[in-house]
Structure formats: C-alpha cells, structure tokens
Structure 1
Amino acid sequence: MIESIQQFDVELFLKIHRGLSNSFFDWLMPLMRNRFFWSPLYLFIVVFCIKQYKKQGYYIIGMVLFTFAIGDLIASRVVKPWVARVRPCNDLSLANDIIHRVPCGSGLSFPSAHATNHFAIAIFLICIFYSRWKPILPIGILWAFIISFAQVYVGVHYPVDVTTGALLGITIGIICSRIFKKLQPDF
C-alpha cells in the first residue's frame, strides 16, 4: 500500500513538475514560494492589525507568530527527522527528470514546512476575521495553496508532502484560533 502511494506521489509530482512546465510558471512559481516576495503582505497584516485593533492587534500578531512557530516546530523539528524523506530534487532515482528551478537544499521533504506554516497562518486569520470579512476565506486558502503548489512545481516537495503539510497547518490554525478566542473573548 505504501509503495503504491509513493508511486502515485512520484507520478503526480512529475505531472506537475514537468507536465505543467512553461516559461510563465518558471518565472512565477519561484517567486510564489519566496518569503521576501510576500513581505509586503506580512507588513500589511501587521500594520492593519495594529492600526485597526490597537492592543488586540498586537495579540493577533503575537498569535500569528505563535501559530507560525508551532507549525514550523512540528513540521521541521518533529515530523521531518522522524520520517526522513528525501526531497525529489535530491532523489537519485529522479535525477534525470528534475528541472532545477531553485536551489534544492539539503533539508528533508515530508511534510512541507512552507505548506504547514502558510496554511496554519491562513486558517488562523480566516477563523479570526471571517465574521468581519468573508472574502478572507477564498483569499487565504488561495494564498496558501499557491505557495504549496509552487513547492511541487519547482521540485522541492512531492504532492503528498504539501497535502500533509496543509492538513497539519489547517489543524494548527484552528487550534491556535481557538486559543486566541479563549484569551480574547471580546474579539
């Protein structure tokens, strides 16, 4: 069973990584996974929360950072070393199939910390702001999905890595939003 899942994962990876290959995605997807590209969004969230919600805004930003830290800790320091899955761009059996769009790095693959962290933050913000601003739901999910998809497209993660990372992130985002709501019941 695990072998058939791994085979499906590799086949789907190659369909995305090679099958969707085009010059526009080759330009766009490395940007979508780059943390510096999203810096204006992160700055906007910080300024918006503090300006709009004053003292509670600082609590929101603190919980976003906590959510990120928990996601990164669990994905990168707990699960990745335990599973020890090699990134597709470092997998010798795929050496002839990989298109090197970004540096591969020496880190492990499962789960994707990018997917975990961004889904955790997105879900946290959705849970906090949805009652005030409904468009945050599709925007947050699309944002996290694009970053996760880019990880597969550039060749640093398998689809199961980002799917598992997304599920882990969703769980962390929900838990952290519940913690925030208990600590800030008036929000």
Structure 2
Amino acid sequence: MIAELQQFDTALFLKIHKDLGNDFFDFIMPLARNRFFWAPLYLFIIVFCIKQYKKQGYYIILGILITFAMGDLIASRIIKPSVQRVRPCNEVGLANSIHRRVPCGSGYSFPSAHATNHFAIAVFLICVFYRKWKLILPVALAWALLIAFAQIYVGVHYPIDTMAGAILGTFIGLTISTIYRKLQPEL
C-alpha cells in the first residue's frame, strides 16, 4: 500500500513539475513561494487589523503569529525530523527529471511547512473575518493553494507533502481561531 501511494505521489509530482512546465509558471511559481513576495500582503493585514479593529486588531495579529508559530513548530521541528522524507529535488532517482527552478535546500519534505503555515493563517483569517468579510474565504484559500501548488511545481515537495501540510494547517488554524473566538468578542 505504501509503495503504491509513493508511486502515485511521484507520478503526480512529475505531472505537475514537468508536464505543466511553461515560461509563465517558471516566472510566477518561484515568486509565489517566496516569503518576501508576500510582504506587502502581510503589511496590509497588519495595517488593516490595527486601523479597522484598534486594540482588537493587535489580538488578531497575535493570533496570526501564534498560528504561524504553531504551524512551523509542528511541521518543521516535530514531524519533518521524525518522518525524514527526502525532498524530490534531492531524490537520486529523480535527478534526471528535476528542473532546478529554486535552490532545493537540505531539509526534509514531509509535510510542507509552507503549506502548513499558509493554510493555518488562511483558515485563521477566514474564521476571524468571515462573518463580516465573506470574500475572505475564496481569497484566503486561493492564496494558500497557490503557495502549496508552487511548492510542487518548483520541485521541493511532493503533492502528499503539501496535502498533509494543508490538512495540518487547517487543523491549526481552526484550533487557534476557536481559542481566539472564546477569548475575544465577535468582530
């Protein structure tokens, strides 16, 4: 069962990484996974929260930071060292199939910390703002999905890595937003 799942994962990885390869994705996907590319969005969220919600905005920002910290801690410090899955870009058997779109890195692959962190933040923001800002749902999910997809496209994660990261991140986002809503009044 595990061998078949790994074969499926590798085949799907190659479909995304190689078969979808094009100049536009080669330009956009490395940017989409770069934390500095999203700095204006992060700044907007901070300014929006403070300007729109005053003191409560600081608590929202704290919730985002805790959500991010939990996602990163669990994915990068606990699960990755335990599972020790090699990144596809470091996999010897895939060496002739990999297009080096970004530096590979030496860390482990499962789960994707990018997917974990961004799904956690997206779900937290959805849970906090959905009543007042319905558009947050498709926008936040599209943002997290784009980042997770980019991780596969550039060759640093398998699809199951990003799917596991999305599930883990969703759980973390729901957990932290539930705690936040118990401590803070509705927006």
Q: Is TM-score (shorter-chain normalized) higher than 0.5?
A: yes
The one-letter code of the counterpart of 2:134 is K
In the alignment, the residues of structure 2 paired with residue 12 and residue 186 of structure 1 have an alpha-carbon distance, to the nearest angstrom, of 42
Task: Tell me the secondary structure at the aligned position of residue 172 of structure 2.
Answer: helix
Task: Tell me the secondary structure at the aligned position of residue 18 of structure 1.
Answer: helix
The one-letter code of the counterpart of 2:163 is T
Matches within 5 A, 1:48-63: 48-63=48-63
Instruction: Show the counterpart of 2:155.
Output: 155
Moved over 6 A (4+): none
TM-score normalised to the size of structure 2? Answer: 0.99
The one-letter code of the counterpart of 1:27 is F
Instruction: Show the counterpart of 2:22.
Output: 22
Deviation at 1:41? Answer: 0.2
What RMSD, in angstroms, separates the aligned Cα atoms of the two structures?
0.5
Matches within 5 A, 1:1-187: 1-187=1-187
The one-letter code of the counterpart of 2:13 is F
Percent identical among aligned pairs is 69
In the alignment, the residues of structure 2 paired with residue 186 and residue 153 of structure 1 have an alpha-carbon distance, to the nearest angstrom, of 39
Deviation at 1:82? Answer: 0.5
CA distances 1:23-61 after superposition (whole Å, capped 9, x unpaired): 110000000000000000000000000000000000000
Give unmatched runs, 5+ long, in structure 1: none
In the alignment, the residues of structure 2 paired with residue 98 and residue 166 of structure 1 have an alpha-carbon distance, to the nearest angstrom, of 24
In the alignment, the residues of structure 1 paired with residue 177 and residue 63 of structure 2 have an alpha-carbon distance, to the nearest angstrom, of 8
Give unmatched runs, 5+ long, in structure 2: none
In the alignment, the residues of structure 1 paired with residue 40 and residue 134 of structure 2 have an alpha-carbon distance, to the nearest angstrom, of 22
Length, aligned pairs only? 187
The one-letter code of the counterpart of 1:126 is I
Deviation at 1:186? Answer: 4.2
CA distances 1:126-181 after superposition (whole Å, capped 9, x unpaired): 00000001010000000000000000000000000000000000000000000100
